[in-house]
Amino acid sequence: MIFYGKQDVNDADIAAVEAVLRSDFLTQGPAIERFERRVAAYCGAKYAVAVTNATSALHIACRAAGLAEGDMLWTSPITFTASANCGRYCGADVDFVDIDDATYNMDADVLEQKLAAARAAGRSGRLPKVVVPVHLAGQSCDMVRIHALAEEYGFTVLEDASHATGADYLGGKVGSCAYSDMAVFSFHPVKIITTGEGGMVLTNRADLYEKLKLYRSHGITRDPQLMTHASDGPWYYQQVDLGYNYRMTDIQAALGYSQMDRLDQFVARRRHLVARYNELLRDLPLRTPHVMDGAGPSWHIYIVRLDLTKVKKPKTQIFAEMRARGITLNLHYIPVHTQPYYEALGHRPEECPVAMQYYKEAFTLPLYTLLTEEQQDGIVAALKEVLA
């Protein structure tokens, strides 16, 4: 069976994990900071905070931004639910900005229109405190425009870069936070690099960095400057805020650090396979991915869209027939605003019509570094049979 995604772990990765298992620290040890420093240096950001997963990363990033009850968070409807749920964890309300029909990322034009409408409504309008653009498939959103709108309207920009480790944007790396306050990566096994489970928040702001570290570990500190009075002794700590146990282990960090040795190789391989898919699928009734000027995607996933004027077979049948041939397809994602939880909060499908059309047409083909060209040829051959 060929699955849509798969980790790439080699002997060097296993040796790195084994070294930690034989060391003095399995958690809260030196491997964490070493991994954080390496990712921050690679991206060109000042600070990085490693956590249990990207969901917890989004949560503490929202907390660090001061998001709370009565506030608003805006994000894309085409994402995993965590991009919206992080706002709800903080008691905030969530709204959605429809996607661009070409890139499937947050549409900066729609964002600008929605912001202007909220401002024009005066007291009845609610501007966002946090906006979470999602770099779907590893392609950056139009961060220059989103950053400019943040400057005008005063919201915090939190990049959900869970798909985009190793991606490029306008000559820099996604994660540099050149156009945002914070950026979040995911290290789930199907992502670009893996720590098993894991995530990270990057930022260039020292104030956010200190808050992120605090919220990662119970709101507890040993820093005398953060305490309410002088320390009672070397054993002393204080809980100065309500935090969480979102700590990554040294075992995970060692795997992530080792995987960083091959990050550029992973991205190059994914880009090669995407270029092959684009060529092999050229004559099928499908729309292949569009790349925005200035973006260099890392290609976590490969999304195509059916031409429904030519393909009358339902997607359920396409999925079933491909699976019968040993190939699993996937769909990224069901529009979040249509989930029962968000419908119960008052959201309706028609809020994001471009996302709804995308949902009718899109599906994800297998893509991972260990996918061979022979397997890829077989996937395309199977898809030709099924679509015929």
Close Cβ partners of 372 (under 8 Å, ≥ 6 residues apart): none
DSSP secondary structure, 340-358, as one string: HHHHHTT--GGG-HHHHHH
Residue 282 scores a pLDDT above 70: yes
Q: How far is CA 160 from CA 140, 237, 290, 387, in A?
A: 10, 33, 20, 34
Q: How far is CA 105 from CA 136, 137, 161, in A?
A: 6, 9, 12
What number of other Cβ atoms are within 10 A of residue 162's Cβ? 29
pLDDT of residue 221: 95
**Residue 316: which pLDDT band, with cuts at 50, 70 and 90?**
very high
> CATH number of the domain at 263-387, out of 2.40.37.20, 3.90.1150.10, 3.30.1490.20, 3.40.640.10?
3.90.1150.10
Q: Give tens-digit pLDDT for 141-153.
A: 999 999 999 999 9
> What is the pLDDT averaged over residues 97-111?
98
pLDDT of residue 122: 80
pLDDT of residue 171: 97
Residues of the chain with CATH 3.90.1150.10: 263-387
CATH 3.90.1300.10 fits domain 11-260 = no
Q: Give tens-digit pLDDT for 169-210.
A: 999 999 999 999 999 999 999 999 999 999 999 999 999 999
Residue 124 scores a pLDDT above 70: no
Q: Would residue 122 be called left, alpha or beta, if left means φ above 0 and alpha means ψ between -120 and 50 degrees?
A: left
Residue 63 scores a pLDDT above 70: yes
Q: Is 0.75 topped by the overall pTM?
A: yes
The pLDDT mean for the chain works out to: 97
Percent of the chain surpassing pLDDT 70: 99
Residue 123 scores a pLDDT above 90: no
Q: How far is CA 134 from CA 15, 52, 81, 162, 242, in A?
A: 34, 20, 11, 8, 27
> What is the pLDDT averaged over residues 99-123?
95
Q: Give tens-digit pLDDT for 19-43.
A: 999 999 999 999 999 999 999 999 9
pLDDT of residue 198: 98
Residues of the chain with CATH 3.40.640.10: 11-260
pLDDT of residue 125: 72
**Residue 120: which pLDDT band, with cuts at 50, 70 and 90?**
very high
The answer to whether the beta carbons of residues 133 and 141 sit under 8 Å apart is yes
Close Cβ partners of 190 (under 8 Å, ≥ 6 residues apart): 4, 5, 6, 7, 300, 368
Q: Give tens-digit pLDDT for 349-372.
A: 999 999 999 999 999 999 999 999
Tokens in use for 12? Answer: 């060097």
* CA 270 to the chain's CA centroid: 17
Residue 7 scores a pLDDT above 70: yes
